[in-house]
Structure 1
């Protein structure tokens, strides 16, 4: 039977209604699915954020616990941190999350969060986890000497974990540097910056720990007996590396045992007719052959590895012993160490403290003793007493580490090893005492002072420094400036009131009470030397080079109360907006380097 005209439309309407209902259900189902997926991603994003925010403070807690010697607590904290990081990584890496990363506006934020969580998780699993296990087995007190012996086994045991952690940290640096936070919301972009800042700040510290656990055990005789020279520099009479070598000691180490076996004053070494080692031409031109002729003067060059090699050879010629390395320290560093040991009684009856060490060793000793030998003996006795306190375990280990770190950052502690492999580890650290090499991020300069008074007047030399840059040229090559202000703080009657041994008594042609100093500015080989000014006026100077570094040197003499301002000028090779650093002789009275305002 044929459908009637009225029945056909009614059937089609029913069919269309059915189809619309089906489409509506499909759309509703899709909406539910999408809403569910969005909710899924949203919930997981919230959970991941909570995990990461909980993990971040745990890193600081673990560090504090390690320093406090709470090994088990540090291990548990490390385990919690890795659990949190792993959870955040899982929450941000499932297929639904990855699918939403293609959604405009939202997707880039999700991708960055996933990358951040992944980087933190990798660092936690590969770096923090092994460190946490080591932290649970080692206490800071393990490094306190007992009867002159340090247990080197914890350091040896820590080597693999520290090395693995350093590798993980450097991998994290690369991962974070490759994360593109452009176009993300402020919170996500800030998270990228925070993590980048954190890993970049942590890497140098972890690198220092890695170097320590690789070098210190061998220096303590873990692989066989060692002998080291310890040079105590006296900055009352400046040399580039710190001061004349007032006292020299021989330290013997074996299986963690540390013994002070011999002492001598720097002045007791003979002056050799020629340099004991062949000097580089640059060194001979700048500082003279005397650098390698007399123990007191090996620090004239700012290149401590050269100073150390010269001292090593002078000891061999004097005593017939080949030492395995050379360490250097000064009285200011000793004062830092005394904060860890507490007051030390000296054979003279004095109490040496962190507050009086500098004045007692660099000022009072010259008032009390006229004979140089008595002064040297007092200096040597003080150094030996501090050594005995540290080797005997009297120093708080945390405070001692902090003291040595502070002294090292100021270049008051220097270390050189005759073993090439160990020296390679020390290179490019503040302990190495090398010239200030620049890199893509930091332009470094050097400022080195050598006494020309021939006496101990540098106790009264105040030094202020500043560095800066300005770009004035069309080619954007920057002008760099290093400025130093030297002030003779001695009283106006210093020439009469101070002992001849302190003023020099015109022995080298310097009026008593005056301070005469050779001041050398160093810049990287790439820059152009534009000369210098003194008190705002062009001044004659010696242009030179040292191992390729550009050098400008001049000699200044200051009467009591007099100041002078020297500015070294350099021209960079290409546009530069990085950091500026100044490495300089560790003088007694040094002010923090400031920013130098420069104009075109």
Structure 2
């Protein structure tokens, strides 16, 4: 009670002038504070939305986010190069969605998911041209910003891809037979038994296209088609030597790593065995199709009581190798059921496979030819092309348990280039019975012209036999390497090439990856006189006077470009 009386006697507290003004300041500052937080967050998340939705194939959502990003960026004053980059990146994503949206109906029509596509591809080519120009501007804006170097790398890749896609887009009417009817020969190769263009040619598919639509798919086992061949066809001498057959069949038609040559040979066999002549050849291997299961989802083969997923595909195949014909037919059926998002993801994955040389298409920029590229400089050019090609001739699936590492050393001197290549092949399987066993690899090295072999060693001992021939304007060295289970064989090859060099020249080294071959580490070391000056846009892993070393993974074609000035003190 006393406390209550005391409280009642206390005067009412009077608000101070500061207390009266505080709510007004807070009310005025709160919108500014919220704007300062929400505006950059909106810029970031709208751009991230555009990027992530594009990669998922949700082009409508991605384009909405890209449009919102552009609208948000317009009020920003161009006082920073980062603002320019942001605005141009949003513009590029907007144009990428326009291109994808204009090209998608052709894929939907191809799979019978929409009306027949128009033969007029003007919108597709125009949107791709605008996208390429936008990426070029973005590329230039990123050059002086070292903090954004990873983004610059991705933009460079995207622009290069846009330039490569351009001739493919221009060829859409022909590729999809928008004006008529055509047949595509699809070489279905098995990389668990590696061969030069992707794997053993166990099956083929004949795809019938009519006015841009896929109207029929027929799967053939090459063992069955080869039984229709009449007469005797002599195989190439090295093929006959390593497989011990006197006759050549469709199943071995892809013996030449130059895909245009193997495609022509496969066409010849199909014409003789099936009495029809396809119009185009596409090469793909089983591992690439298995990767697409992450998009199509699992495939059920009810007749074999099997459910195939990306995760279990290899193990199921090794346990049930006879399911391929049923799988291929069911796979093409599943492709027809893809929704828009899945179809765009599949298209992106196929383009990636084309870029990494896992799919070849005859008569296109992705034709898979074996040929040194043109000089990439205005200086006099010294071009070295080195292509290691493996062929499993052991009639097994030993490539599943094979691992490789490689080292290539190139020593340049004024009058001569010396090369040393080491390949370590390990067979990790302990099984001796099929599908495992010895890995019998007929290894062919495609070397620069005028190369002269000096030594071929297997585990430090001279090879009992090796063969030197010429193909596609290159020197070819072939040697049979037998890797027993749970063992490793070191292959060492040395050769040299005479040179005549200018005082200033551009050196380029190209090392293609083999389709179907699992990626493996490669160390490339370039040695040159210490009096020479070298400049390169590709940062080496190690560099010292007279030496550049690059540690790479051979998962796609490797390119090295160095400019040299000789006799610099």
TM range (shorter): 0.5 to 0.7
Q: Deviations over 1:295-330 (max 9, x none)?
A: 011111101111111222222223332211122222
The equivalent position to 1:535 in structure 2, one of 432, 435, 459, is 459
Question: Structure 1: how far apart are the matches of 2:222 and 2:428?
Answer: 27
- Residue 342 of structure 2 corresponds to which residue in structure 1? 396
Q: Deviations over 1:251-287 (max 9, x none)?
A: 11223422344332111324554559xxxxxx94554
**1:233-272 mapped onto 2 (5 Å cutoff):** 233-267=189-223, 268-269=225-226, 270-271=228-229
Q: How many residues align?
A: 469
The equivalent position to 1:521 in structure 2, one of 441, 445, 450, is 445
Question: Structure 2: how far apart are the matches of 1:142 and 1:70?
Answer: 17
Counterparts in 2 of 1:515 and 1:194: CA distance versus 1, 3 Å: closer
Cα drift, residue 390 of structure 1: 0.9
Question: Structure 1: how far apart are the matches of 2:288 and 2:99?
Answer: 30
Matched, 1:592 2:520: yes
Counterparts in 2 of 1:146 and 1:521: CA distance versus 1, 3 Å: closer
The equivalent position to 1:226 in structure 2, one of 182, 201, 205, is 182
Matched, 1:447 2:388: yes
| Greater per-residue strand proportion | 2
CA contact (8 A) 2:452 2:495 kept: yes
The equivalent position to 1:162 in structure 2, one of 110, 119, 128, is 128
Counterparts in 2 of 1:232 and 1:77: CA distance versus 1, 3 Å: same
Counterparts in 2 of 1:578 and 1:150: CA distance versus 1, 3 Å: farther
Matched, 1:66 2:21: no
Counterparts in 2 of 1:164 and 1:437: CA distance versus 1, 3 Å: farther
CA contact (8 A) 2:405 2:424 kept: yes
CA contact (8 A) 2:51 2:93 kept: no
User: SS at 2:126's partner residue?
Assistant: helix
Question: Structure 2: how far apart are the matches of 1:435 and 1:56?
Answer: 45
Unaligned runs of 5+ in 1: 1-53, 93-112, 180-187, 277-282, 367-374, 417-422, 504-512
User: SS at 2:304's partner residue?
Assistant: coil
User: SS at 2:441's partner residue?
Assistant: strand
- Residue 370 of structure 2 corresponds to which residue in structure 1? 435
- Residue 31 of structure 2 corresponds to which residue in structure 1? none
**1:269-348 mapped onto 2 (5 Å cutoff):** 269=226, 270-271=228-229, 273=231, 275=233, 284=236, 286-287=238-239, 293-346=248-301, 347-348=303-304
Matched, 1:415 2:361: yes
CA contact (8 A) 1:145 1:393 kept: no
The equivalent position to 1:213 in structure 2, one of 129, 150, 169, is 169
Counterparts in 2 of 1:317 and 1:138: CA distance versus 1, 3 Å: same
CA contact (8 A) 1:410 1:586 kept: no
Counterparts in 2 of 1:72 and 1:389: CA distance versus 1, 3 Å: closer
User: SS at 2:475's partner residue?
Assistant: strand
User: SS at 1:228's partner residue?
Assistant: strand
- Residue 364 of structure 1 corresponds to which residue in structure 2? 319
**1:32-111 mapped onto 2 (5 Å cutoff):** 62-75=50-63
| Greater per-residue helix proportion | 1
CA contact (8 A) 1:461 1:486 kept: no
TM (norm. structure 2) is 0.67
The equivalent position to 1:469 in structure 2, one of 401, 409, 416, is 409
Matched, 1:557 2:557: no
Question: Structure 2: how far apart are the matches of 1:82 and 1:579?
Answer: 42
Question: Structure 2: how far apart are the matches of 1:542 and 1:76?
Answer: 61
Counterparts in 2 of 1:132 and 1:247: CA distance versus 1, 3 Å: closer
Larger CA Rg, structure 1 vs 2: 1
Cα drift, residue 516 of structure 1: 2.2
Matched, 1:385 2:340: no
User: SS at 1:302's partner residue?
Assistant: coil
CA contact (8 A) 2:84 2:141 kept: no
Cα drift, residue 462 of structure 1: 0.4
Counterparts in 2 of 1:469 and 1:209: CA distance versus 1, 3 Å: same
CA contact (8 A) 2:116 2:213 kept: no
Question: Structure 2: how far apart are the matches of 1:152 and 1:55?
Answer: 39
Q: Deviations over 1:536-586 (max 9, x none)?
A: 444342222211122211012233223212234455756777676342252
Question: Structure 1: how far apart are the matches of 2:416 and 2:83?
Answer: 40
Question: Structure 2: how far apart are the matches of 1:396 and 1:122?
Answer: 28
Counterparts in 2 of 1:409 and 1:118: CA distance versus 1, 3 Å: closer
Question: Structure 2: how far apart are the matches of 1:176 and 1:479?
Answer: 42
User: SS at 2:265's partner residue?
Assistant: helix
- Residue 13 of structure 2 corresponds to which residue in structure 1? none
TM (norm. structure 1) is 0.64
Question: Structure 2: how far apart are the matches of 1:292 and 1:200?
Answer: 48
Question: Structure 2: how far apart are the matches of 1:524 and 1:172?
Answer: 38
CA contact (8 A) 1:123 1:172 kept: yes
Question: Structure 2: how far apart are the matches of 1:57 and 1:480?
Answer: 51
Q: CA RMSD in A?
A: 4.6
